[in-house]
Amino acid sequence: MAVPTNTLIFSAAVGNREDLSDVIYRIDPTDTPFMSLCERETATAVTHEWQTQALASASGSNAQVEGDDVAADAVTATARLGNHCQISRKAASVSGSQRAVQHAGRDDELDYEMNLKGLELKRDMETIIVGTNQARRSSDARLTASVISWIKTNTFKNGTGSDPATADGAGTRVDGATAAFTEANMKTVLNAIWTAGGKPDTVLTGAFNKQQFSTFTGRSTPIEQATSRRIVAAVDYYDSDFGKLEVVPDRFSRSRDVLILQSDMWAIAYLSGRRFVAYPLAKTGDADRRAVMSEYTLVSRNEKASGGVFDNTTS
């Protein structure tokens, strides 16, 4: 159809206002499961230390002679462990002009950018702690040992990989050839953890092996709930012989690892006054600059309470 003569249409008009929504849509994930399940501690030095205690092995021959004199048993000394505080930081810079103009979806551009940087910093920390194969390092820039550099006692390795040489965060894992994650392998690790005295409550893994987990016993086929018109094909909890475990997917963990954790045996220690601190930076031009930082370390209170199935396929 033809436009009537002398009709003013949108494409020819001058002065139409923009229609820009005041909502900004963001899909990037900000959930950090491992940091959420960990307890928090305060570190007072850049090297944060703690102790573990082991009991003497149980004896089946502890029978004493009546009236016998008492001799002292051997004393088991504590073990002293430690990890280094790592500094992670994000910074934003916004020009004076950009702060002065009106914005859609935020009142102040610098405040908005700092909020994003805080979320990004949190994601970085989760990735460092569970998504890297990182040993502790005391020289600048200091590094905190990641989860898998602590786990040594209770592991199953599908391939030719090997555990860290010591269970103190000083070494890294050696990755091997991958194989499918199986329920039998997980049960092997659960047995080892329980035998060592642990009470695991969480399974942490990436997307592929979370779906693999959902095919284990009881979920070999989906269950259809006709009344609610739903198909249930997921496993979020696993009732093992040694207790109930929550199965948690973590986008930032290494996809080849399946971590089996006793959550209260892990903590994040923040150096006093250095937990997600925002501060202004000096002006170097017509811009305002701010940074947000954390100085933190991972605390493995006793790695024997946790374990892992390693070298799993990821696709």
CATH assignment of the domain containing 207: 3.90.1690
**Is 69 inside a domain boundary?**
no
Counting every residue written for the chain, the total comes to: 315
At residue 11, what are phi and psi to the nearest 5 degrees? -65, -20
Which regions in the chain score pLDDT beneath 70?
A: 6-7, 9, 20, 24, 27, 218-233
pTM for the predicted model, two decimal places:
0.89
**Is 204 inside a domain boundary?**
yes
**Is 72 inside a domain boundary?**
no
Beta pairing class for 155-157 and 307-310: parallel
Q: What Å distances lie between residue 229 and 219, 224, 225, 310, CA to CA?
A: 18, 7, 6, 37
Structurally, the chain folds into a number of domains equal to: 1
Q: Decide: 134 and 170 in contact? Cβ < 8 Å.
A: no
Residue 282's CB is within 10 A of a number of other CB atoms, namely: 5
At residue 207, what are phi and psi to the nearest 5 degrees? -65, -50
DSSP structural state of residue 83? E
Residue 158: predicted pLDDT: 85
Residue 131: predicted pLDDT: 97
Residue 134: predicted pLDDT: 97
DSSP structural state of residue 168? S
Residue 15: predicted pLDDT: 75
**Is 9 inside a domain boundary?**
no
**Is 62 inside a domain boundary?**
no
**Is 5 inside a domain boundary?**
no
**Is 83 inside a domain boundary?**
yes
Residue 159: predicted pLDDT: 77
**Is 40 inside a domain boundary?**
yes
Please give the residue range of the domain that contains residue 101: 33-48+79-171+178-310
